[in-house]
A and B are shown apart, each in its own frame.
Chain A
């Protein structure tokens, strides 16, 4: 019987180095069947430990490609480990594949791989040790697989490098918050470094979780001697470091690479000792894989990914234009948001599917934690499942039916829940009634095992033009709810609906609410008045110590006597702005010129001429790639004004489909091509990277583009390019086929059947112009 967290547990040590010592090579997991006696010998040598881990680190269907069945190896491994006469934890390592979006392994495939492991081992082991994971997303898939398919305890550890981050950039605080949220029994660190080097990580984990912390370090930092890896840390030194960790409050200890029975025997004296650690004050924390937001003072939640009242976003959602949604996310991040609301609720769409894809798309580019906002529990569950971190769920209210559906989802995925102080009878008039609902929500959450620090309350803003006196009730309720010990949120801009000069009312109400204890204003972060009010409040309330954040953000802002920013570059023409790459200014001037000039006259007479000059200077080596791209961006901004001025569905030139071919995951060059050719007025459909020939054929058939641009970076993916071209021709799709990329040249392009090869983005833009003019003539 293991007293996890109360008494210290000692795990066994390194296995690989022991196998090496016995002269055993090959696939370690297969030794469970081919050399059981040797494997048992090692397990028995570790019988001084309280828990023995199986020799199954690489045993999952993605990593293990040998000839034995997963089940038979799992069974043999557990039987071997039982030889030590101690409880047996099944050892689970990473798949060895890189998870999406950077890699190719999908969350669902990772989950299914670990589900197979769970099914093969759940009846023969006493628990699981998930170890040496370096990707938060992968360990989340693994934890869910074991939680959903077994009832055994799960200990989960990750590796950290000397920067005290996992190899995918997660801090110890992010790891602790996520693993605790997902409901493991103990969490910690293994492998990575030696015990001394891990002290910092261990201290940060202990300060970030109430769960037992497990540590299994390497035997110091390895050195190379005569071509062999040697660990020089002595048993005494290892013991001293472990002793220090035990004093810090660690609950389970063991060893990883290079550790031996000698070292484990030495630290086994800690077995059964009482765990003593300082209490941890849990916070209201949400996180992505790389960014943590502790909602303790004021955190801005960006409201722009919510279709209510936003025509363009509605269109983007119904067309599943995730590029638009990603750009909205990044703009808010740049503007200073701490969390982003994501609401995909439109009557005409499959909200569950769109929400899932939107969250996947946003988390590929944007680091901010997300607030998943829906009234559909299915959409919330699907999004919380594939979210890489701990989300905020928006929302529940005091209605029992709603709470019964949402709280189990929040509990399972460790989410923080936003509770609206209303119920099926609507928003109560008085602050006292809203407080009662908040109390009900907190109590009911507790029934589902959700602690108070995982609850936030929104005391609800009612528009002042309709019920002016309720603004005061909202603020009063805010103060009362703070007394319950939970954090608060408000959707500020509702206050001004139906009134003129909304920004003035919004920022004034925001300042009032902040003063009464608002923790998370849900606002448009692109509104400088709103973010500025928050930043100023943070200074005046001493949250922003030394006004560091404020100075950093506003030091370069020039204030004119009329409190407005200086109009820089006032004398420049549209041509100059394109030439100098001034995006915002170019868009403004283009809008002005459209009042007196025909759109196509601006395109031909100004934009293309400016681009041609930039192109010439670029080719002469006078301008460089960044300036070329900046000019293209400025021109693209001008083109978006032109497009708006043209009749709906009319095209300036035509469409171009771009794709990086199947098997190729590098798309930087292709992305630069996109910017440059868009600046010449082409409408680009970007299919992304690793695109199958069939999809390219389908998209070309649908969009009927003037041209297709295919990109490949390495020789290994040129065959995929050739296949794509062959399929396009077989389908008899009339389009100009361009190829480009580091490994291509004229000769290869001709050989694989392409119509055109261009060496860079500008080359493609010019060739397109030439073909376009020829066609027009």
Chain B
């Protein structure tokens, strides 16, 4: 995995602090250093894999709200799933035993790192794409994950959905991306726009925030 720059890590920090329960302007040198350490370890151990299908015909589960509103005006949809791999789960579990404080930071970093890699990967879908939307967001049902798993050969990237709709490895996501029309990746098209804790503080989940 290509090393990400220090400025990119700095840009990831608000999201990482967010996963630890802080919003916007949180920062602490000791934790910042641990974040860099954790990201470097993730670069060595994560196995990022992404699988997707593009369709201009909507599968039936996307014909209801809130998907219908999200996809309104788009010409097609990417149905996708991605993961950091099971090795990351093992590292988090191990750290929570030998150094719980680092384990908590690693857990938050892994979530943010997955988002970062997805955002980077999805650049190939063009600039007229919407923000990634996953079942569970904005009033949608987690149970809808099963439809995504029926459509994609998720076993090819090693993700399993259990009967309670948990994805394994735990640092995995599955969702949809609107293509074309008014769709744009960013705060405007984000389903969380109305209730985003970052925006309320004048920050964004993917930038350094107010500083």
Count A-B pairs with CB separation below 8 Å. 144
| B26 CB contact (under 8 Å) in A364, A581, A624 | A624
Give the complex CA separation of A191 and B94 in angstroms. 31
Any chain A CB within 8 A of the CB of B165?
yes
Any chain B CB within 8 A of the CB of A366?
yes
Task: Pick from B65-73, B102-110, B185-193 the stretch touching chain A.
Answer: B102-110
Are B166's CB and A167's CB within 8 A?
Answer: no
Q: Which residues 69-115 in A have Cβ within 8 Å of B in the complex?
A: 94, 96-98, 102-104
Give the complex CA separation of A760 and B156 in angstroms. 37
Chain B residue with Cβ nearest A58 = B155
- On whether A665 and B162 interact (CB within 8 A), knowing A326-B97, A627-B31, the answer reads yes
CB distance from A255 to the nearest CB of B (A): 16
| A102 CB contact (under 8 Å) in B22, B90, B96 | B90
Any chain B CB within 8 A of the CB of A715?
yes
Are A168's CB and B86's CB within 8 A?
Answer: yes
Any chain A CB within 8 A of the CB of B101?
yes
| B30 CB contact (under 8 Å) in A102, A165, A364, A626 | A626
Q: Mark B19-38, 1 if CB is under 8 A from A, else 0.
A: 01110001010110010000
| B105 CB contact (under 8 Å) in A159, A621, A626 | A626
Are A224's CB and B54's CB within 8 A?
Answer: yes
Within 8 Å CB of A180, what residues of B? Answer: none
Number of interface residues of B (CB under 8 A): 54
Give the complex CA separation of A666 and B122 in angstroms. 28
- On whether A330 and B104 interact (CB within 8 A), knowing A102-B168, A621-B26, the answer reads no
Are B49's CB and A167's CB within 8 A?
Answer: yes
Within 8 Å CB of A221, what residues of B? Answer: none
Within 8 Å CB of A327, what residues of B? Answer: 97-98
Any chain B CB within 8 A of the CB of A248?
no
Are A97's CB and B164's CB within 8 A?
Answer: no
Give the complex CA separation of A675 and B160 in angstroms. 30
- On whether A167 and B96 interact (CB within 8 A), knowing A666-B170, A717-B164, the answer reads no
Any chain A CB within 8 A of the CB of B55?
yes
Are A330's CB and B160's CB within 8 A?
Answer: no
Within 8 Å CB of B101, what residues of A? Answer: 581, 625-630, 633
Main secondary structure of the interface of A (DSSP, over half): loop
Give the complex CA separation of A716 and B144 in angstroms. 12
Any chain B CB within 8 A of the CB of A134?
yes
CB distance from A227 to the nearest CB of B (A): 5
| A227 CB contact (under 8 Å) in B49, B53, B169 | B53
| B103 CB contact (under 8 Å) in A165, A227, A366, A668 | A668
Are B100's CB and A671's CB within 8 A?
Answer: yes
Within 8 Å CB of B52, what residues of A? Answer: 224
CB distance from A615 to the nearest CB of B (A): 14
Any chain B CB within 8 A of the CB of A664?
yes
Chain A residue with Cβ nearest B46 = A163
Are B31's CB and A626's CB within 8 A?
Answer: yes
| B20 CB contact (under 8 Å) in A367, A624, A630 | A624
Are B93's CB and A365's CB within 8 A?
Answer: yes
Number of interface residues of A (CB under 8 A): 57
Any chain A CB within 8 A of the CB of B138?
no
- On whether A665 and B168 interact (CB within 8 A), knowing A169-B86, A675-B100, the answer reads yes
Are A626's CB and B104's CB within 8 A?
Answer: yes
Any chain A CB within 8 A of the CB of B74?
no
Are B158's CB and A134's CB within 8 A?
Answer: yes
Are B169's CB and A102's CB within 8 A?
Answer: yes
Any chain A CB within 8 A of the CB of B89?
yes
Are B86's CB and A227's CB within 8 A?
Answer: no
Chain A residue with Cβ nearest B76 = A227
CB distance from B96 to the nearest CB of A (A): 5
Q: Which residues 356-371 in A have Cβ within 8 Å of B in the complex?
A: 364-367
CB distance from A777 to the nearest CB of B (A): 32
Within 8 Å CB of A103, what residues of B? Answer: 160, 162, 168
Any chain B CB within 8 A of the CB of A504?
no
CB distance from B62 to the nearest CB of A (A): 14
Chain A residue with Cβ nearest B55 = A227
CB distance from B64 to the nearest CB of A (A): 18
| B164 CB contact (under 8 Å) in A366, A632, A672, A714 | A714
Q: Mark A610-638, 1 if CB is under 8 A from B, else 0.
A: 00000000000101111111101100000
| B104 CB contact (under 8 Å) in A290, A365, A625, A664 | A625
Within 8 Å CB of A364, what residues of B? Answer: 93
Are A98's CB and B100's CB within 8 A?
Answer: no
- On whether A624 and B28 interact (CB within 8 A), knowing A629-B100, A665-B162, A671-B103, the answer reads yes
Chain A residue with Cβ nearest B88 = A169
Q: Mark A127-142, 1 if CB is under 8 A from B, else 0.
A: 0000010110000000
Any chain B CB within 8 A of the CB of A207?
no
Within 8 Å CB of A367, what residues of B? Answer: 90
Best-buried of A163, A224, A663, A668 by chain B (most CB within 10 Å) = A668
Give the complex CA separation of A330 and B21 in angstroms. 29
CB distance from A361 to the nearest CB of B (A): 11
CB distance from B44 to the nearest CB of A (A): 10
Are A97's CB and B160's CB within 8 A?
Answer: yes
Give the complex CA separation of A363 and B38 in angstroms. 22
Chain B residue with Cβ nearest A715 = B142
| B157 CB contact (under 8 Å) in A165, A167, A760 | A167
Give the complex CA separation of A167 and B86 in angstroms. 8
Any chain A CB within 8 A of the CB of B119?
no
Give the complex CA separation of A627 and B32 in angstroms. 12
Are B34's CB and A96's CB within 8 A?
Answer: no
Q: Mark A470-491, 1 if CB is under 8 A from B, else 0.
A: 0000000000000000000000
Give the complex CA separation of A665 and B169 in angstroms. 10
Give the complex CA separation of A111 and B54 in angstroms. 37
Give the complex CA separation of A714 and B161 in angstroms. 14
CB distance from B80 to the nearest CB of A (A): 11
Within 8 Å CB of B143, what residues of A? Answer: 716
Within 8 Å CB of A98, what residues of B? Answer: 86, 160, 162, 168
Are A668's CB and B92's CB within 8 A?
Answer: yes
Are B87's CB and A169's CB within 8 A?
Answer: yes
CB distance from B159 to the nearest CB of A (A): 9
Q: Which residues 113-166 in A have Cβ within 8 Å of B in the complex?
A: 132, 134-135, 159, 161, 163, 165
Within 8 Å CB of A666, what residues of B? Answer: 166, 170
Within 8 Å CB of A668, what residues of B? Answer: 92, 96, 103-104, 107
Any chain B CB within 8 A of the CB of A334?
yes
Within 8 Å CB of A163, what residues of B? Answer: 1, 47
CB distance from A325 to the nearest CB of B (A): 12
Any chain A CB within 8 A of the CB of B85?
yes
CB distance from A488 to the nearest CB of B (A): 31
29 A/B residue pairs, CB under 8 Å, sorted by A: A102-B86, A102-B89, A102-B90, A132-B155, A167-B86, A167-B158, A169-B45, A224-B52, A224-B53, A227-B53, A327-B98, A367-B90, A581-B101, A624-B22, A624-B26, A624-B31, A625-B105, A626-B20, A626-B34, A626-B102, A627-B31, A629-B100, A629-B104, A632-B100, A633-B100, A663-B162, A714-B142, A716-B164, A717-B164
Residues of A in contact with B (beta carbons under 8 Å apart): 94, 96-98, 102-104, 132, 134-135, 159, 161, 163, 165, 167-169, 191, 224, 227, 229, 290, 326-327, 330-331, 334, 364-367, 581, 621, 623-630, 632-633, 663-666, 668, 671-672, 675, 713-717, 760
Nearest 5 pairs between A and B by C-beta? Answer: A167-B158, A629-B101, A626-B101, A98-B160, A169-B87
Inter-chain pairs besides A227-B54, A630-B101, 8 sampled, C-beta below 8 Å: A227-B53, A624-B28, A625-B20, A625-B104, A627-B28, A628-B101, A668-B96, A713-B166
